[in-house]
Amino acid sequence: MRFVIAMMKHETNTFSPVRTDWRRFLDWGAHFGAAARRAYEGTAMPFGAYLKLAREAGAEVVTPVAAEAMPSGPVEKAAYETLTNAILDAVRKGCDAAFLDLHGAMVAETTPDGEGTLLEAIRAIAPDLPIAVTCDLHANLTEKMVRNSTALIGYKTYPHVDMEEVGGQVGRILLRALKGEIRPVMGWDRRPLLAQTLRMGTDDEPMKSLIRMAREEEARGMLAATVFGGFPLADFADAGMSAICVSDGDAATATAAARRLMDAAWAEREEFLYRHEPLTQAVARAKAIAQGPVLLLDHADNVGSGGTEDVMTVIAEVLRQGLEDVAVAAVCDPAAVAAMAKAGVGQTVTLRLGGRTDMPSIKMRGEPLEITGKVRTLTDGEWVVRGPMYTGVTVRMGPTAVLDTGKMQIVVVSRHHEPWDTGVFTSVGIDPAAKRYLLLKSRIHYRAGFAPLGRATLTLDGEGVTTSDNSRLEFRQIRRPIFPLDRLNAPPEKR
Ligand SMILES: [Zn+2]
How far does Cα 418 stand from its chain's mean position? 9
- pLDDT number for residue 55: 97
Give phi and psi for 88, each to the nearest 5.
-65, -40
Closest by CA to 377, choosing from 351, 349, 406, 340, is: 340
Beta-sheet pairing, 224-228 with 242-248: antiparallel
Distance 22 CA to ligand 1 centre (A): 21
167 CA distance to ligand 1 centroid (A)? 15
Cα(135) to ligand 1 centroid in Å equals 9
279-287 vs 313-320: helix crossing angle, rounded to 10: 50
- Enter the pTM of the model: 0.95
Ligand 1 is an ion; its neighbours by CB within 5 Å are: 136, 138
Question: Shortest CA distance to 229 belongs to which of 131, 156, 329?
Answer: 156
Tell me the CA–centroid distance for residue 487 and ligand 1, in Å: 26
pLDDT confidence of residue 354: 98
Q: What's the 158 CA to ligand 1 centre distance in angstroms?
A: 7
CA distance 348 to 325: 19
CA 136 to ligand 1 centroid distance, Å: 5
| Contact call for residues 372 and 357 (beta carbons, < 8 A) | no
- The verdict on whether omega for the bond into residue 206 sits within 30 degrees of 0, i.e. cis, is yes
Question: 45 CA to middle of ligand 1, Å?
Answer: 13
- H/E element, 168: helix 163-178
Q: Please tell me the predicted confidence (pLDDT) of residue 58.
A: 98
> Contact 67/9 with Cβ under 8 angstroms?
yes
Contact 452, 462 (CB under 8 A): no
Ligand 1 centroid – CA 305 distance (Å)? 8
Phi and psi for 390 in degrees, rounded to 5? 60, 30
Instruction: Give the model's pLDDT for residue 487.
Output: 84
CA of 93 to the centre of ligand 1 (A): 32
CA of 269 to the centre of ligand 1 (A): 20
CA of 126 to the centre of ligand 1 (A): 30
| Cα 138 to ligand 1 centre (Å) | 5
Span from the CA of 137 to the centroid of ligand 1 (angstroms): 5
| Beta carbons within 8 Å of 304's beta carbon, 6+ residues apart | 70, 71, 418, 420, 442, 443, 445
Structural contact between residues 420 and 449, judged by C-beta atoms closer than 8 angstroms: yes
Mean pLDDT by 10 residues, the chain (495 residues): 98 98 95 97 95 98 97 98 98 98 98 98 98 98 98 96 97 98 98 96 97 98 98 97 98 98 97 96 97 97 96 98 98 98 98 97 97 98 93 93 98 96 98 98 94 97 96 95 89 64
Closest by CA position to 20, among listed 416, 391, 317, 348: 416
Q: What pLDDT does 494 receive?
A: 57
Q: Determine the distance separating the centroid of ligand 1 and the alpha carbon of 343, expressed in angstroms.
A: 38
Note the pLDDT of residue 490: 76
61 CA to middle of ligand 1, Å? Answer: 27
Alpha-carbon dihedral angle through residues 163, 164, 165, 167, given to the nearest 10 degrees: 90
At residue 495, the pLDDT reads 58
- Give the β-pairing of 394-396 and 400-404: unpaired
Distance, CA of 262 to CA of 243 (rounded, Å):
6
Distance between CA atoms of 202 and 266, rounded to whole angstroms? 17
Amino acid at 1: M
Render pLDDT for 445-475 as a digit per residue (tens, 0 to 9): 999 999 999 999 999 999 999 999 999 999 9
- pLDDT at residue 493 in the model: 60
Rounded to whole angstroms, the Cα distance separating 173 from 184 reads 8
Confidence (pLDDT) at 71: 96
Q: Which residues of 325-358 are buried (b: 16+ CB within 10 A; e: fewer)?
A: bbbbbbbbbeebbebbeebeeeeebebbbbbbbe
